[in-house]
C-alpha cells in the first residue's frame, strides 16, 4: 500500500475553479437583477407617461365641451398612439441591441482577463517552484549536516558519561550528559518535522503498509517515552491487549504518529497525571488512542490542533506546532482519520483510526 496526501496545489486549483463558478453565477445574477430593475423603471415611466397623457386628454375633452371627441380628434389620437407605439418598439429594439452588445463585450473580455490571470499565475508558480526547489535542496543539505553534528555531540556525551568517575562529580557529569542527549533527541525530532513538512508540501509523503501487530507498536512507543514521563512525574501506561492487533500499516510512520501524540500529551499533563495509550479493533478498522489528564482542549479548538504551526498561544515555546499536523497527514496517507475529544480541566483523548485492520 502506498498512498500520498493530496497536494495543496490541487486544492488551490479546485478552490480557484469553484471561485470562478461562483463569480460567473454572481455576475449572471447581478446582470439579471440590473436588467430587471431597468425594465421595471422603464415600465413605471411608461405607465406614468400614459397616465399624464390620459389626464391631458380628459382635460382637453372638457374644454371642448362636447359629448365625445370628433372623428378628426379620434383619428389624430390614433395616429399619435401609433407613432408612440412605433417609438416604443424602436426604443425596445435599441435597448435589446445594446444589451446584446454589452453581453458580447463582457463575454469577450472575461476570457481575456482570465487568460491574463492564468499566465500571471503560471509565471508566479514557476518562480515559486524554483524557490521551493532551492529551499528543499538547501534544507536537505543543512539537515544532513546538522544531524552529523548532533551525532558527534551524542558520541562525545556518551564518552564523557562512560569516563565519568564513580563519585558525586561523576554522577553530576552523567546527569548533564543525559540532559544533552535529550536535547539532541529533541533537535533531531524538530529537524525531522521540518523535512516531513517539506515532503508533505511536495506531495511526496508516502506510506508503505505491511502486516504488523499494533499491540507491539504501542509497547514500543510506551517504552520509548517511559523515562521522559517518569522524570516529569507522569504515569505513562499501555494497558495490555489480549492477543494481537493485526493490521497493515507503515511501522515507522505509525510509530511516529504515536510518538507525536504522546509528546503532545506530556506537554500538557502536569506532574501526577496519567497518560494511557490503547489500541482496539472496531469493525474493519484499527483504532489507537492516547488519553491524558491534562488541561484539556476547548471545543472550538478540537479541529485546529491538527493545523500546521498550531500553538495554544503565541507565547508557547514548546515546539513548532508541527507534530499533530504531520500525524494527520500520515494518517490520511493510510486512508484513515484522526480526531480529538476533550473536557477542559479534565483531559483529552486523541484518536487514530486506519482501515484494513485484520481480526486477530
pLDDT of 133: 66
Q: What is the pLDDT of residues 84-113, one digit of tens each?
A: 777 777 777 777 787 777 777 777 777 777
pLDDT of 266: 92
Which of residues 228 and 54 earns the better pLDDT score?
A: 228
Helix (H, G, I), strand (E, B) or coil at 278: strand
Gap between the Cα atoms of 260 and 254, Å rounded? 10
pLDDT > 70? residue 301? yes
Q: What is the pLDDT of residues 147-178, one digit of tens each?
A: 888 888 888 888 888 888 888 888 899 888 88
Rg of the chain's alpha carbons, rounded to an integer? 37
Residue-by-residue DSSP string for 203-232:
T------EEEEHHHHHHHHHHHHHHHHHHH
Other CB atoms within a 10 A radius of the CB of residue 263 amount to: 18
Q: What is the pTM of this model?
A: 0.56
Average pLDDT over residues 29-33: 70
pLDDT of 97: 80
Which one, of 298, 297, 300, 320, lies nearest residue 309 by Cα? 320
Which one, of 237, 222, 223, lies nearest residue 273 by Cα? 237
Least confident of 187-196, 238-247, 316-325, 345-354: 316-325
- The three cell numbers of residue 317 are 515555546
Average pLDDT over residues 309-317: 55
Give whole-number Cα distances, 104 to 76, 110, 149, in Å: 42, 10, 66
Gap between the Cα atoms of 294 and 300, Å rounded? 17
pLDDT of 60: 65
- Cell 486477530, residue located: 360
Amino acid at each position: 500500500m502506498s498512498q500520498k496526501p493530496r497536494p495543496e496545489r490541487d486544492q488551490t486549483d479546485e478552490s480557484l475553479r469553484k471561485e470562478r463558478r461562483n463569480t460567473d453565477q454572481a455576475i449572471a445574477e447581478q446582470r439579471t437583477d440590473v436588467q430587471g430593475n431597468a425594465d421595471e423603471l422603464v415600465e413605471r415611466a411608461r405607465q406614468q407617461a400614459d397616465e399624464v397623457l390620459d389626464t391631458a386628454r380628459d382635460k382637453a375633452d372638457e374644454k371642448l365641451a362636447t359629448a365625445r371627441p370628433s372623428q378628426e380628434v379620434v383619428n389624430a389620437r390614433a395616429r399619435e398612439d401609433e407613432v408612440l407605439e412605433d417609438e416604443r418598439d424602436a426604443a425596445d429594439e435599441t435597448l435589446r441591441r445594446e444589451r446584446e452588445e454589452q453581453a458580447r463585450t463582457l463575454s469577450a473580455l472575461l476570457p481575456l482577463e482570465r487568460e491574463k490571470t492564468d499566465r500571471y499565475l503560471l509565471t508566479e508558480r514557476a518562480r515559486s517552484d524554483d524557490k521551493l526547489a532551492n529551499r528543499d535542496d538547501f534544507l536537505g543539505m543543512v539537515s544532513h549536516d546538522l544531524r552529523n553534528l548532533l551525532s558527534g555531540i551524542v558520541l562525545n556525551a556518551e564518552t564523557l558519561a562512560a569516563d565519568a568517575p564513580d563519585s558525586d562529580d561523576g554522577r553530576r557529569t552523567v546527569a548533564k550528559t543525559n540532559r544533552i542527549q535529550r536535547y539532541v533527541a529533541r533537535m533531531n525530532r524538530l529537524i525531522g518535522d521540518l523535512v516531513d513538512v517539506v515532503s508533505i508540501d511536495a506531495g511526496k509523503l508516502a506510506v508503505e503498509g505491511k502486516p504488523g501487530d499494533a499491540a507491539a507498536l504501542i509497547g514500543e512507543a510506551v517504552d520509548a517515552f517511559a523515562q521522559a514521563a517518569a522524570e516529569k512525574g507522569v504515569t505513562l501506561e499501555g494497558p495490555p491487549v489480549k492477543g494481537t492487533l493485526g493490521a497493515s500499516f507503515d511501522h515507522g510512520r505509525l510509530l511516529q504518529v504515536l510518538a507525536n501524540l504522546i509528546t503532545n500529551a506530556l506537554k500538557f499533563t502536569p506532574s501526577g497525571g496519567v497518560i494511557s495509550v490503547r489500541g482496539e479493533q472496531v469493525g474493519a478498522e484499527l483504532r489507537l488512542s492516547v488519553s491524558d489528564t491534562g488541561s484539556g482542549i476547548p471545543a472550538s479548538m478540537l479541529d485546529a490542533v491538527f493545523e500546521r504551526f498550531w500553538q495554544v498561544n503565541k507565547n508557547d515555546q514548546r515546539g513548532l506546532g508541527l507534530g499533530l499536523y504531520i500525524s494527520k497527514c500520515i494518517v490520511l496517507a493510510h486512508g484513515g482519520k484522526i480526531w480529538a475529544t476533550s473536557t477542559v480541566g479534565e483531559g483529552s483523548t486523541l484518536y487514530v483510526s486506519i482501515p484494513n485492520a485484520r481480526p486477530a
